[in-house]
């Protein structure tokens, strides 16, 4: 008998892995209305607090007035509004690349690009903690995929030697990594990866979804901060996180983006994103992210990260007694993503529920988003959190970590 949908859901429930949607009744901001209550939101990727800002709302309305609502067709048919071309010029200038290509999401950019540039016989070498969009693109491409343990450049070096021995001369070898890892908030050793890329004559794709807008000069990302942009062949980013809007992009050579226009199926066979969003995103990149206003927001975000991680009480190390598996808390904050590793899936759900009772929204992140047994609370900070909110969360994390108080609150 074929398995049933309901049976599969029951199995997920049993394993504490079932997910449910939460309805939010307010714009995306640190103070959310949900389930008839106000919750302080520590789970958004809206790091600079732009998503619900009056400024972006006005830009988007202006974009609709100028460009209309829908785009009518795929970019290749008749959907390329001038606003899309202007956005791509703005992204290329921002990233310091020859060219850029916008996609309807970062997910579409990742899947479309990997399937376009890699095929059977090519070799993809990917960090173990890379995002699902990169994994899906790699699998769909038909290329040989080898995964190296997280940030282990010694293992990457071995794989590169193996790849050179096993790939035909005309085959591509592509290293794929994130710069800031989405669920751990740590950084890739980009300088060493770039060195290996050159030594082994490979290509390098870097997903900066959680670095763009936040790190580097003018928010250009980690590669820019390290002066390594020129050694990254394929820059991936999203407009949906720090930039507060929606959409994804690839930046690189003109030949790369021209090839993607011809080959990336998520670009070709999907209606163009609304030109109004492209119009607004162009302004966001040029006038907000890369400007003094962006610098001020990044400074506020850094101050909030400092507040949350300041010594005295480290919420991460107070995460609770039993944290099996890779329990290492996030070390000195490297980004705005500050996971508190719990371990068990049910324990993470319980901790999240306790925080919610205290008025904080910090969902449990579980398998398959992270490895089994490494479930966590993924705390993300925004430039628009207040000091009081951050202290409140620290307090709630500390009291939830103390077993006697937990027993009391969870009755
Ligand atoms: C969010 C994310 C993406 C996908 O971007 P969207 O614009 O949300 O589709 C890709 N890579 C990483 C690392 C991400 O965190």
Between CA 224 and CA 335 the distance in angstroms is 15
pLDDT band at 1 (very low <50, low <70, confident <90, very high): confident
| Alpha-carbon gap, residue 166 to 120, rounded angstroms | 13
Q: Return the axis-axis angle of helices 106-117 and 254-263, rounded to nearest 10°.
A: 90
Q: Take atom 2 of ligand 1 and give the residue whose Cα is closest.
A: 209
Report the run of H or E that residue 174 belongs to, with start and end. strand 173-178
Task: Choose which residue among 28, 44, 106 to substitute to test ligand 1 binding: the one with the highest number of ligand atoms within 8 A of its C-beta.
Answer: 106
Report d(CA 364, CA 376) in Å as an integer: 6
What pLDDT, on a 0 to 100 scale, did the predictor assign at position 332? 59
Predicted confidence (pLDDT) at residue 359 exceeds the cutoff of 90? yes
Rg (alpha carbons) of the chain, rounded to whole number? 22
Among 81, 95, 235, 241, the active-site one is 241
Tokens of 73: 């067709």
Residues found in the chain: 411
> Per residue in 135-194, pLDDT tens?
999 999 999 999 999 999 999 999 999 999 999 999 999 999 999 999 999 999 999 999
Q: Which residues contact ligand 1 via a Cβ below 6 A? A: 105-107, 110, 131, 133, 178, 182, 207, 209-210, 238, 240, 248
Q: Give the position, in ligand 1's atom list, of the atom nearest the Cα of 246.
A: 7
**Distance in angstroms (rounded) separating the CA atoms of residues 257 and 272:** 16
pLDDT of 312? 63
The whole-number pLDDT of residue 115 equals: 98
Q: What is the mean pLDDT of residues 327-352?
A: 82
CA quadruple 400, 374, 344, 23: dihedral sign: positive
Q: What is the pLDDT of residues 216-225, one digit of tens each?
A: 999 999 999 9
Query: How far apart are alpha carbons 374 and 340 in whole angstroms?
Result: 10
Q: How far, in Å, CA of 152 to CA of 283, rounded?
A: 38
Whether 127 and 207 have beta carbons less than 8 Å apart is answered as no
Give the Cα separation of 228 and 94 in Å (integer): 14
DSSP 74: B
182 in active site: yes
Which residues are CB-neighbours of 117 under 8 A, at least 6 positions away? 141, 172, 174, 203, 234, 256, 259, 260, 263
Q: Quick check: is 120 catalytic?
A: no
Q: CA torsion sign, 148 to 132 to 186 to 372?
A: negative
As a whole number, mean pLDDT of residues 17-43 equals 95
Omega into 215 within 30° of 0, i.e. cis? Answer: no
How far apart CA 99 and CA 106 sit, in angstroms, is 17
What 3-state class would DSSP assign to 118?
Answer: coil
Encoding tokens for residue 361? 């929204």
Residue 410's pLDDT is 40
| 153 to 100, 145, 180, 270, 315: CA distances (angstroms) | 28, 16, 16, 37, 30
Distance, in Å, from the CA atom of 232 to the CA atom of 198, rounded to the nearest integer, reads 10
Residue 297 has pLDDT above 60, yes or no: yes
Whether 85 contacts 257, CB under 8 Å: no
The model's pTM:
0.93
Q: Is 105 assigned a catalytic role?
A: no
What is the predicted pLDDT for the residue at 310? 87
Which of the listed residues 28, 107, 273 should we mutate to test ligand 1's pocket, taking the one with most ligand atoms within 8 A of CB?
107
Q: Which atom of ligand 1 is nearest to the CA of 133?
A: 10
51 backbone φψ class: left, alpha, beta (φ>0; ψ -120 to 50): alpha
Contacts of 217 (CB under 8 A, 6+ apart): 224, 225
User: What was the pLDDT predicted at 406?
Assistant: 45
């Amino acid at each position: 008998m074929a398995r049933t949908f309901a049976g599969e859901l029951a199995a997920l429930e049993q394993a504490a892995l079932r997910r449910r949607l939460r309805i939010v009744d307010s714009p995306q901001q640190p103070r959310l209305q949900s389930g008839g209550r106000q919750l302080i939101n520590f789970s958004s990727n809206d790091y600079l607090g732009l998503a619900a800002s009056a400024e972006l709302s006005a830009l988007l309305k202006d974009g609709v007035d100028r460009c209309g609502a829908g785009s009518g067709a795929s970019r290749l048919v008749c959907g390329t509004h001038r606003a899309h071309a202007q956005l791509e010029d703005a992204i290329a200038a921002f990233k310091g690349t020859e060219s850029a290509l916008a996609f309807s999401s970062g997910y579409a950019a990742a899947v479309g690009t990997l399937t376009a540039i890699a095929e059977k016989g090519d070799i993809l070498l990917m960090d173990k903690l890379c995002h699902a969009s990169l994994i899906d693109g790699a699998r769909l491409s038909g290329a040989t995929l080898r995964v190296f343990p997280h940030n282990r450049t010694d293992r990457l070096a071995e794989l590169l030697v193996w790849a050179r021995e096993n790939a035909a001369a005309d085959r591509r070898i592509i290293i794929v990594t994130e710069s800031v890892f989405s669920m751990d908030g740590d950084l890739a050793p980009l300088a060493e990866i770039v060195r290996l890329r050159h030594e082994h004559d490979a290509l390098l794709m870097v997903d900066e979804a959680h670095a763009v807008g936040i790190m580097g000069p003018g928010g250009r990302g980690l590669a820019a901060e390290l002066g390594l942009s020129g050694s990254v062949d394929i820059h991936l980013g999203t407009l949906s996180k720090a930039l507060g809007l929606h959409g994804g992009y690839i930046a690189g050579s003109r030949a790369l983006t021209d090839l993607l226009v011809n080959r990336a199926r998520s670009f070709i066979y999907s209606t163009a994103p609304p030109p109004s969003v492209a119009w607004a995103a162009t302004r966001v990149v040029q006038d907000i992210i890369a400007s003094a206003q962006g610098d001020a927001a990044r400074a506020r975000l850094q101050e909030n990260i400092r507040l949350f991680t300041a010594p005295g009480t480290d919420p991460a190390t107070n995460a609770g007694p039993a944290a099996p598996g890779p329990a290492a808390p996030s070390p000195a904050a490297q980004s705005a993503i500050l996971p508190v590793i719990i371990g068990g899936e049910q324990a993470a759900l319980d901790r999240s529920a306790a925080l919610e009772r205290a008025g904080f929204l910090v969902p449990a992140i579980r398998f398959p988003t992270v490895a089994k047994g490494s479930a966590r609370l993924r705390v993300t900070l925004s430039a628009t959190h207040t000091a009081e909110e951050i202290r409140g969360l620290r307090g709630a994390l500390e009291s939830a970590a103390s077993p006697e108080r937990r027993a009391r609150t969870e009755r």
